[in-house]
Amino acid sequence: MTNLDSLRITERDLDEITGLDIGAVNMGWAYRQAAFAPAARLSFLGEQLLTLCVASIFCLPVTLLLARSVSGNNAAAVWRWLPFGVVGAIALTLFWALYRWRAGKRLITLSHLLDDIDRFNEMVAAVEILEELGAAKNSRLNLENRDEVIEALHLTRESLICGLMTEKVMRKHQQFISRKQEMFSSIEKNLAMLQRIQVGDEASEYSRLLNEAIQIGTSVHKELSGY
Amino acid sequence: MNQESLNQEPLNQAPALNQVPLGQEALELRRKRGNLNHFAVLIRLLRDRRTFLDEVRNEVKLNRKISALLVASSCFFAVYGAIVGTYSGGLQIISSAIKLPALYLITLMICVPTLYFFDILFGSKLNFKQYVVMALTSVAIISVLLFSFAPVILFFLISIQDYNFFLLLNVLVMGLTGCVGVRLFYKGMVDMAGPDGFEQKLRLKLLQGWVVLYGLVGSQLGWTLRPFFGADNEVFQIFRPEIDGNFYAKVFQTIASMLGF
């Protein structure tokens, strides 16, 4: 049985390849598109609330201390300045969210590639589960196409890594076109090979994974061709 | 290869997958856990400080560490501040819940640039983010230690209604936690610099001087932001009207008052 751990693209791999701090909803300080997905809305709002709390911690006391200093220690004037502190905290929160959103827009290709990588890692996990189930007695799961799926996963991984590297090269050195072309041709080659793999039984789990691999490969190709 | 066909063909081959993306639920679950990660970073710092410092040295996920430590320490300070504020109750609870995190974090904001610029002047190779993470590490440790003292403070708050005692108890707790946090920061900075990093005595002295500066700025800011729990029989005040005096004079005065001088 093949150890599939080596196939997984870990967060550390992503950090090293992209040169950014990659998380489930962030790329460095920038937001990934996943942060705005309907299912992540609650988490997003929670984060904004936390940011507002931290902003208040900085803005309110500083504003009020300034008010005290300017007004010559007048307590009534300090109270009058309170709304300015609140507005400052809200403005800081909005500015920070806007900055992260705009930074995310600039990294839209990377964001899509990272979504593909998430899907890929989930695929690897699914194959692992299928293998464990297949190894169990009385399992009636279809084990056909297994080698093809592993091959497809290898090709997809290679394409994704190539995609990330191309994106980084393009992001950092816009004029460094030759390297981009070299990597892009590798992605095209992998995708062509993926499409050549015959998908026999459409209903089996492995065929489903194979199709997913082809979809990811297509997505990577599409993202990079738009650069 | 025809680009159009690359974009279209595989999608047609797998229509079902478009409707039910593989592992989507697991992915969403991971995203929902994002806010909890703030505390996970802090727990990891407490459990395995050496690995954490190695990561800071190698600049691993510094952004995440900054935001996580900032949020987690703010929460712990706010909880402790709110508990301290219950001595007077009402608005003092909200006021202290904001002012206590502000005391520690603004002190940090004031002092970190001094450390950074002086240290790079004398040969440090660390970047500003690394300094911020290291400083936040000490503040986060202080916040957790304060939070751990919260039940003790709550107990004394319920059992003894003596302003001077409560004041000195809090000074003691904050002083103790502050010393532990700053000591760990100092050791961490020496560790980060490596065996050769602090061969220059000047840099070591500089770090020690910065620790003293941090304490002085913190105590004076605490004096400026007071009250944190409000005196007996006094209406709520955002700040005390009298600006004169200093933290140390007040502590000595309180001790003298308790001893009957």
Cα B255 to Cα B237: distance, rounded to the nearest angstrom? 24
Looking up tokens 């299912």, which residue turns up? A39
Contact criterion met (CB < 8 Å) for A188 and B1: yes
Residue B5: C-alpha distances to residues A153, A160, A168, A188, B9 (Å): 21, 19, 26, 12, 6
The verdict on a CB contact (< 8 Å) between A57 and B101 is: yes
> What one-character-per-residue DSSP string does B64-121 give?
HHHHHHHHHHHHHHHHHHHHHHTTT-THHHHHHHHHHHHHHHHHHHHHHHHHHHHHHH
Q: How far is A28 from chain B (nearest CA, A)?
A: 7
**For residue B227, is the peptide bond before it cis, meaning its omega torsion is within 30 degrees of 0?**
yes
- Would you list the domain boundaries of chain B? 36-229+241-258
Residues 6+ positions from B68 with CB-CB distance below 8 Å: B37, B38, B39, B40, B41, B42
Distance set, CA A151 to CA A121, A194, A197, B14, B80 (Å): 15, 8, 9, 18, 56
Task: At A27, give phi and psi (nearest 5°).
Answer: -130, 100
Six token digits for residue B256: 């003298």
**Beta strand pairing status for A26-27 and A30-31?**
antiparallel
Half-sphere exposure of A80 (CA within 13 A, CB side): 9
CA angle A163, A164, A167 (to 5 degrees): 85
Q: A139-153, pLDDT tens digit by residue?
A: 555 556 677 788 888
Return the DSSP state at B125.
Answer: -
Please give the pLDDT value at position B7: 41
Measured between beta carbons, the chain A residues lying within 8 angstroms of B38 are 50
Q: What is the pLDDT of residues B77-104, one digit of tens each?
A: 999 999 999 988 888 999 999 999 999 9
Asked if the C-beta of B243 comes within 8 angstroms of chain A's C-beta atoms, the answer is yes
Report yes or no for ipTM above 0.85. no
The one-letter code for the residue type at B21 is P
> What is the C-alpha separation between B139 and A77, in angstroms, rounded?
32
**Amino acid letter, residue A170:** M
Angle at B74 between CA B72 and CA B77, to 5 degrees: 110
pLDDT in tens, chain B (261 residues): 344 443 433 333 333 333 334 444 544 545 545 555 788 888 888 888 889 998 898 888 888 899 999 999 999 999 999 999 998 888 899 999 999 999 999 999 999 999 999 888 888 888 999 999 999 999 999 999 999 999 999 999 888 888 888 888 998 999 999 999 999 999 888 888 776 656 677 888 888 899 999 999 998 899 888 888 887 777 888 888 776 677 777 777 777 777 777
For B74, the token pair is 């703010």
Which residues are paired to A22 by β-bridges?
A: A27
Q: Chain A residues with CB inside 8 Å of B98's CB?
A: 56-57, 60-61
Question: Is residue A177 packed enough to be buried (19+ CB in 10 Å), middle (13-18) or exposed (0-12)?
Answer: exposed
Q: Residue A31 CA to chain centroid, in angstroms?
A: 9
Ramachandran sector of residue B90 (left: φ over 0; alpha: ψ -120 to 50; beta: rest):
left
Interface of B with A in 92-131 (CB under 8 A): 98-99, 101-102, 105-106, 109
**Which helix (H) or strand (E) is A26 found in, with range?**
strand A26-27
CA–CA separation, A20 vs B9, rounded Å? Answer: 33
**Rounded Cα–Cα distance for residues A130 and A165 (Å):** 31
Q: How far is B85 from chain A (nearest CA, A)?
A: 16
Beta bridge partners of A26: A31
Of all residues in chain B, what percent are helix, strand and coil, respectively (each to 5)?
Answer: 80, 0, 20
Identity of the residue numbered A206: Y
Cα(A130)–Cα(A205) distance, integer angstroms: 8
Angstrom distance (rounded) from CA A155 to CA A163: 12
Q: Give contacts of B 21-40 with A, CB under 8 A.
A: 21-24, 26-28, 30-35, 37-38
- The rounded distance, in Å, linking the Cα atoms of A188 and A148 is 18
Average pLDDT of adjacent 10-residue blocks, chain A of 227 residues:
76 88 87 85 89 94 90 82 94 95 90 90 84 66 68 87 85 63 71 66 65 77 68
What is the pLDDT, as a whole number, of residue B197? 59
Give per-residue burial for A188-202: e unless 16+ CB within 10 Å, then b: bebbeebbebebeee
